[in-house]
Amino acid sequence: MQHELTHELIQDLKAATQSADYTFINNLLDDLHAADISEIIHKLEPEDSIIILNLLSIEDGADVLMHLDDDYRKRFLKELKTEQLANYLNLIDSDDAADIVNELPVKRRDDVLVKIPNQEKTAYIIDLLHYEEDCAGGIMAKELVKAKLTWTVTECIEEIRRQSKNVEKVYSVYVVDDHDRLVGIVQLKKLLLSDGNILVDEIYDDDIIHVETYKEADEVARIMQKYDLESIPVVNVQGKLAGRITIDDVIDVITEMAELERQMMAGISESTEEASSVWLLSKSRLPWLIVGMTGGMLGAWFMGFFEENIKLIPAMAFFIPLITATGGNVGIQSSSIVVQALASGDGLDSYYGQRLLKGFFVSLINGLAIASLVFIFNFMLGQDIKLGIVVSVALLSVVIIASFFGTITPLILDKLAINPALASGPFITTINDLLGLAIYFVVANLLLSF
C-alpha cells in the first residue's frame, strides 16, 4: 500500500502528531514499507517523527531508522533515548548499525554500545568501527553462515539453522579450516541434495572469489559487477574470514560514487545534499566558480591582444560565444566518455593510441559537419566569405583540439591519482574556452592577414 506524498498529507500528519490522533497515524502507516515511512518522516521535524516511530513495532522502527537519510538521521538520533536506539541497533545488520553508531558523539556512542542486548552484535559493531568507510572492511557485515571442512552435511545444516537466526539473507555457506581461514564455499542447493553423512570437505568448491578488508569499496563494486555476485566474502591479512558484502551494500556504494561523480562534473568539490548547511554548500561550489571566473578574466585579457582586429572586423565578435561554447561542449563529451570507461574499470592503459586515433576521426567528422553548417549559414545570410571561412576553419580546429584535450585530460588525472571527473566539469570547460579563443584569433590572423 502506498500514499502519494502531498503537502496536504504532511500537514495532516503534523496536525495528527500535535493533537495525538494516533488512530489516524496508525491507519495511514498501516502496511506501508519502511522506505515509504522514512520518506514521510523526512518531511517532518524530528520531534514529530519520534512520535510516529514510537507507534511502530521495534522491528519496523529499526527498518525505518536504517532507511533514513544520513544528514536527517544525525538530527533525528538526538531525539532518541539511548536505550531505545540500542534496541533498534540490536535488530539492524552490523554494517548498517556501525554506520549509525559512527554518527554519534563519542560519549553517547559508548553509552549506546553498552546497552545493546546482544553482546555478539556489540562486538561486531566495535570491530567494524576500526575500518575506514570507503574500504571493504567498512561496508562488510559480520553476520554470515560458515561451516568447517570436518563437518558432515547434517552438522552443517544444523549450524545453518542456528546461525541464520542472525542472518537476514543466506546466499551460500562459507567454508573455513580449523584456523578460521577461508578455503571455499558451498551452495545451499548442493547441501540440500547431498547425503547427510558426507563431509563438507568432499562437496565444497575451493574456487571462490573474495576481497581483502583493505580493498577499496569501488573496486569491490567492480568485482561483484564483473562476476555477477550477490555476495562476496571478506578476509583479513591472515586470510581469516572477516565478513561478507552483499549486493545491497554494493548498490549503496555505486549510488554514492555516481552522486560524487555528478557533483564533481558540476564543479562541486565536496559531497553535499540539499539539506546541507549554507556554509558547506558555499564552500563546495566556490573553488570552481573562482576557476571559471579566472578563466573568464584570462579570456577577456587574451581578447585584449586582438582588440584592433575586432575593430577592423566587428563581426568577428559575434562568433566568439559560438567558438567557446562548441569547444566546451566537445571537451565535456569526450572527457565524459573516458571518465565513464575509467569508472567501469575497462582498463584503458594499453589502448591510449587507439582511443586517441578513434577520437580524432570522430572529432574530424563532427568538426567538418559543424564547420560546413556554419559556413552555409553565413553564406545564406550574406556574410563576408573570408570571415565565414575563418569561423569554419576555427570551428574545425577547435573541435579536434578540444576532443583531444577532453580525452587526454582525464587519463592524465587518473595517472596522477586525481579524480578524473574533474575533467568533465569547469576545469575542462575553462581550458577549452581559452584554447578556442586562441585558435579563433590565430586562424583569423593567418587567413585574413591582419
Which pLDDT does position 348 carry in this prediction? Answer: 53
- Residues listed for the chain: 450
- Of 413, 405, 420, nearest in space to 341 by CA: 420
Count CA atoms within 13 Å of residue 159 on its CB side. 19
Count CA atoms within 13 Å of residue 302 on its CB side. 18
Domains 146-256 and 278-448 share a fold: no
pLDDT tens for the chain, 450 residues: list them: 455 566 777 788 888 888 888 888 888 887 778 888 888 888 888 788 888 888 888 988 899 888 888 778 888 888 889 999 999 999 999 999 999 999 898 899 999 999 999 999 999 999 999 998 889 999 999 989 899 999 999 998 888 888 777 777 787 899 999 999 999 999 888 888 899 999 999 999 999 999 999 999 988 988 998 888 989 999 999 999 999 999 888 888 877 776 666 666 555 555 555 555 666 667 666 776 777 777 778 777 777 777 777 776 777 788 888 888 888 888 878 887 777 777 666 555 555 677 778 888 888 999 899 899 988 988 887 777 888 888 899 899 989 988 888 888 888 877 777 767 655 566 777 777 888 888 888 888 887 765
**Sign of the CA dihedral running 225, 209, 219, 127:** positive
Alpha-carbon distance 344 to 225, whole Å?
9
Which CATH number applies to 278-448: 1.20.1630.10, 1.10.357.20, 3.40.50.300, 2.40.160.20? 1.10.357.20
Structural domain boundaries of the chain?
7-134, 146-256, 278-448
Q: Domain 7-134 belongs to what topology?
A: MgtE N-terminal fold (1.25.60)
Sheet harboring 211-212: ordered strands across? 211-212, 231-235, 241-246
Contact between 407 and 359 under an 8 Å Cβ cutoff? The reply is yes
Which pLDDT does position 318 carry in this prediction? Answer: 82
What's domain 146-256's architecture? Roll (3.10)
Which pLDDT does position 122 carry in this prediction? Answer: 93
Alpha-carbon distance 155 to 152, whole Å?
5
Alpha-carbon distance 395 to 302, whole Å?
18
| Model pTM above 0.85 | no
Which pLDDT does position 188 carry in this prediction? Answer: 86
Alpha-carbon distance 204 to 182, whole Å?
12
Q: What angle do CA 75, 81, 84 make, to 5 degrees?
A: 110
- How would you write the chain as a 3-class SS string? CCCCCCHHHHHHHHHHHHCCCHHHHHHHHCCCCHHHHHHHHHCCCHHHHHHHHHHCCHHHHHHHHHHCCHHHHHHHHCCCCHHHHHHHHCCCCHHHHHHHHHCCCHHHHHHHHHHCCCHHHHHHHHHHCCCCCCEHHHHCECCCCEEECCCEHHHHHHHHHHHHHHCCCCCEEEEECCCCEEEEEEEHHHHHHCCCCCEHHHHCECCCCCEECCCEHHHHHHHHHHCCCCEEEEECCCCEEEEEEEHHHHHHHHHHHHHHHHHHHCCCCCCCCCCCCHHHHHHHHHHHHHHHHHHHHHHHHHHHCCHHHHHHCHHHHHHHHHHHHHHHHHHHHHHHHHHHHHHCCCCCHHHHHHHHHHHHHHHHHHHHHHHHHHHHHHHHCCCCHHHHHHHHHHHHHHHHHHHHHHHHHHHHHHHCCCCHHHHHCHHHHHHHHHHHHHHHHHHHHHHHCC
Sheet harboring 182-187: ordered strands across? 146-148, 172-176, 182-187
Contact between 322 and 395 under an 8 Å Cβ cutoff? The reply is yes
Scan for cell 553509552, then name that residue: 111
Output the nine-digit C-alpha cell for 284: 563546495
Output the nine-digit C-alpha cell for 278: 549554507
Which pLDDT does position 88 carry in this prediction? Answer: 93
Alpha-carbon distance 415 to 348, whole Å?
11
Contact between 331 and 432 under an 8 Å Cβ cutoff? The reply is yes
Alpha-carbon distance 16 to 406, whole Å?
56
Alpha-carbon distance 210 to 200, whole Å?
19
Q: Which residues of 113-140 are buried (b: 16+ CB within 10 A; e: fewer)?
A: bebbeeeebbebbebbeebeeebbbbbb
Which pLDDT does position 172 carry in this prediction? Answer: 84
**Residue 55 carries which side chain, given as an amino acid letter?**
L
